[in-house]
């Protein structure tokens, strides 16, 4: 019998004895056993903080992003093995694809976030705040990685995605992880972690794994740590309420299962493309992963005049869903993950049946395809109908975590909004409608009780990822029953693992800390010109003070001829009455163009190209006769990896363009983005 192991303190180890025996969901054959008994969690957490955390905090965001990308590519090369093991959970190929490649996709998505962060181990948040009259005292914010461990307690339904979507974020932030998957499906997580450890891509200590029950895993957390929990709301609340969590002020992110609703808009009448989309999407969300998704559809809200047509269409489509061994041709839905899950779903269905009617699904008389498939973990799709969901409210309180949903009528859209909110907080809801006003009314009315809302119509259907698919660059979570937590969320998710700290001081000091030039800081004159320097030689703050140019009427006329911009303020001095201008004014884009002529050193050198302008502002009118100059300052440097051996080694340099007039006042500001060659590979 195989014993699935834990990876802690840099070693693969067995727990004491056997805590849980593991079974194949399809044929109920024994897979092996697992235990985490005897693990010293105090040492495990301290190892993560001391070994993994220190290593990750030394890396910049760019290095962490490249690390995640390398890991994603490594795992993609080995995904065939993960599909084999995933089949033991009863997953179809589509179910496994969501779990495995969806999880790896989170690594890719978070790796791409490196472009939104500086080439530093910490993040500079927002812009500087002026705190003094003369500008010698300013404030800013930085965000540094928390110095604890991210403890992830995951549910049974997504053994790969559940781990990777979380660690992608904390690793990008520079925080190590201790992952505790469900003991029932940990065998798949263990296979993936073995490959991650073998790859040597992650620093040692940045990922540890507990495959057993994990009893005592939260006994030694402290204020430096972050706990995330995915699973039932009841269990999550128990863990969140542990004295250790409150006493140590431990950050706790709870993402709980919820009673998600899908709404058929009143304008999506039978016969429309949207009506057909609604039927297809609803059945998909009931049956993918056999309904074992925290985002699955549990409540189906339809206009009362369409409820019979919807029931008939859903029943017909559910009847065509073949259940059985996913390896068999034509099977579209496998078993639940374990016999225990099937028993729990049956208990919830029995409770729901006390107040509403089953209109599709035979609990004790259903077919499963596959000669070796045993009935222990299989559960058929069940569709309830609730004629009065405002009075019979069990459907808003009881979740059957399987292929079970309740169809219910509503009269007006406001009723649908109220019914959706009766779930007491959901991860997701969706509305299918061809009418944008109907969509807007639902979204604005229902958003306060939902973490995500999908608006589906014919225009986006081909590329829509669907009701049940949270995306790595968007927040996944929800209020109330859904736990009040947030996961993923792109850059927002990374910031959850960072500590924001306000810093105050002289602009020169703040420049040195942030490695971003702050207005008012010292500006040592560049010698030679910054365009003659390679990436490594440039220093944040060094400045080119350019020659000056006096703007003339001829400049304005010539620029208008070249650009075709004949806006009246530039070309018609007789039309300025009632405007803010005293006389004809130079084009803002002429000022920037002339600034480039002043600050550019034209000879061939390390600067490869300018590829953009950010944050351009025209702060003061420039009239003929004004004399302008430019302070051209190295603002920020960002390292860039080579994409191939033939690629030119280079980095990104942001330059602040500060155009000023003869009074010394700034008339225009912009940041230009350049690629600058490195001295070395």
Catalytic residues: 255, 294
Strands (E) across 457-512 are located at 475-477, 486-488, 498-505
SS (H, E, C) 557-610: HHHHHHHCCCCHHHHCHHHCCCCCCCCCCCCHHHHHHHHHHHHCCCCCCCEEEE
Q: Which two tokens mark 269? A: 């009448």
107's enclosing H/E stretch is: helix 93-112
Q: Is 88 helix (H, G, I), strand (E, B) or coil?
A: helix
22's enclosing H/E stretch is: strand 20-23
The span from the CA of 166 to the CA of 177, in Å, is 9
Reference 257, options 285, 225, 234; nearest CA is: 234
Q: Which two tokens mark 316? A: 């017909």
SS (H, E, C) 295-355: CCEEEEEEEHHHHHHHHHHHHHHHHCCCEECCCCCCCCECCCCCHHHHHHHHHHHHHHCCC
CA angle 323, 294, 146 (to 5 degrees): 140
Exposed / middle / buried, residue 135 (Cβ in 10 Å: 0-12, 13-18, 19+): middle
Q: Are 624 and 585 in contact (CB under 8 A)?
A: no
Q: Which two tokens mark 182? A: 């469900």
The span from the CA of 480 to the CA of 449, in Å, is 7
The span from the CA of 555 to the CA of 539, in Å, is 34
Q: Is 377 helix (H, G, I), strand (E, B) or coil?
A: helix
Q: In what order do the strands lie in the sheet with 123-130?
A: 123-130, 138-145, 498-505
Q: Are 404 and 345 in contact (CB under 8 A)?
A: yes
The span from the CA of 450 to the CA of 473, in Å, is 17
- For 420, other C-beta atoms within 10 Å of its C-beta total 27
Q: Which two tokens mark 229? A: 């929990």
């Amino acid at each position: 019998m195989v014993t699935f192991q834990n990876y802690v303190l840099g070693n693969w180890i067995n727990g004491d004895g056997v805590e849980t025996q593991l079974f194949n969901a399809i044929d109920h054959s024994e897979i092996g056993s697992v235990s985490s008994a005897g693990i010293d969690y105090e040492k495990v957490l301290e190892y993560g903080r001391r070994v993994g955390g220190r290593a990750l905090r030394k890396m910049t965001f760019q290095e962490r992003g490249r690390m995640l990308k390398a890991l994603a590519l490594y795992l993609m090369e080995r995904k065939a093995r993960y599909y084999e093991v995933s089949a033991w959970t009863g997953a179809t190929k589509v179910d496994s694809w969501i779990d495995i490649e969806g999880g790896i996709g989170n690594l890719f998505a978070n790796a791409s976030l490196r472009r939104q962060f500086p080439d530093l181990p910490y993040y500079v948040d927002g812009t500087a705040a002026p705190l003094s009259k003369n500008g010698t005292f300013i404030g800013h914010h930085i965000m540094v990685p928390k110095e604890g461990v991210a403890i992830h307690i995951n549910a049974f339904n997504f053994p790969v995605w559940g781990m990777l979507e979380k660690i992608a974020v904390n690793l990008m932030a520079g925080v190590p992880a201790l992952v505790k998957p469900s003991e029932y499906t940990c065998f798949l997580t263990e296979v993936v972690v073995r490959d991650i450890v073998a790859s040597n891509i992650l620093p040692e200590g940045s990922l540890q794994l507990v495959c057993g029950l994990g009893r005592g895993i939260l006994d030694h957390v402290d204020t430096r740590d972050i706990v995330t929990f995915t699973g039932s709301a009841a269990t999550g609340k128990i863990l969140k309420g542990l004295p250790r969590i409150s006493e140590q002020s431990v950050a706790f992110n709870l993402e709980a299962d919820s009673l998600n609703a899908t709404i058929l808009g009143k304008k999506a009448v039978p016969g429309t493309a949207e009506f057909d989309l609604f039927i297809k999407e609803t059945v998909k969300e009931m049956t993918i992963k056999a309904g074992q998704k925290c985002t699955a559809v549990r409540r189906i809200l339809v206009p009362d005049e369409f409820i019979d047509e919807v029931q008939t269409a859903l029943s017909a489509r559910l009847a065509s869903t073949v259940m059985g061994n996913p390896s068999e041709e034509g099977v579209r839905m496998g078993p639940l993950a374990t016999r225990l899950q099937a028993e729990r779903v049956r208990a919830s269905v029995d409770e729901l049946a006390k107040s509403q009617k089953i209109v599709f699904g035979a609990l004790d008389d259903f077919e499963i395809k596959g000669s070796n498939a045993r009935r222990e973990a299989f559960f058929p799709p069940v569709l309830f109908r609730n004629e009065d969901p405002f009075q019979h409210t069990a459907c808003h309180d009881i979740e059957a975590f399987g292929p079970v949903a309740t169809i219910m009528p509503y009269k007006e859209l406001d009723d649908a909004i109220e019914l959706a909110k009766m779930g007491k907080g959901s991860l997701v809801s969706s509305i299918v409608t061809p009418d944008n006003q109907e969509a807007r009314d639902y979204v604005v009315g229902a958003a306060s009780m939902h973490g995500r809302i999908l608006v589906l119509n014919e225009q986006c259907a081909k590329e829509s990822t669907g009701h049940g698919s949270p995306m790595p660059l968007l927040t996944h979570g929800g209020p109330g029953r859904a736990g009040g937590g947030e996961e993923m969320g792109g850059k927002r998710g990374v910031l959850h693992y960072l500590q924001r700290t306000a810093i105050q001081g002289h602009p020169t000091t703040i420049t040195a800390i942030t490695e971003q030039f702050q207005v008012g800081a010292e500006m040592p004159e560049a010698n030679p010109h910054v365009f003659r320097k390679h990436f490594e030689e440039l220093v944040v703050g060094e400045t080119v003070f350019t020659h000056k140019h006096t703007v003339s009427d001829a400049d304005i006329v010539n620029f208008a001829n070249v650009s075709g911009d004949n806006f009246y303020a530039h070309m018609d001095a007789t039309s300025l009455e009632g405007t803010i201008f005293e006389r004809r004014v130079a084009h803002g884009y002429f000022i920037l163009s002339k600034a480039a002529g002043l600050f550019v050193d034209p000879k061939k050198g390390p600067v490869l190209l300018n590829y953009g302008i950010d944050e351009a502002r025209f702060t003061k009118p420039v009239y003929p006769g004004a004399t302008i100059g430019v302070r051209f300052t190295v603002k920020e440097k960002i390292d860039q990896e080579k994409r191939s051996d033939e690629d030119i080694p280079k980095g990104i340099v942001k330059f602040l363009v500060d155009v000023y007039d003869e009074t010394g006042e700034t008339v225009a500001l912009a940041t230009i983005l350049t690629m600058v060659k490195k001295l070395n590979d």
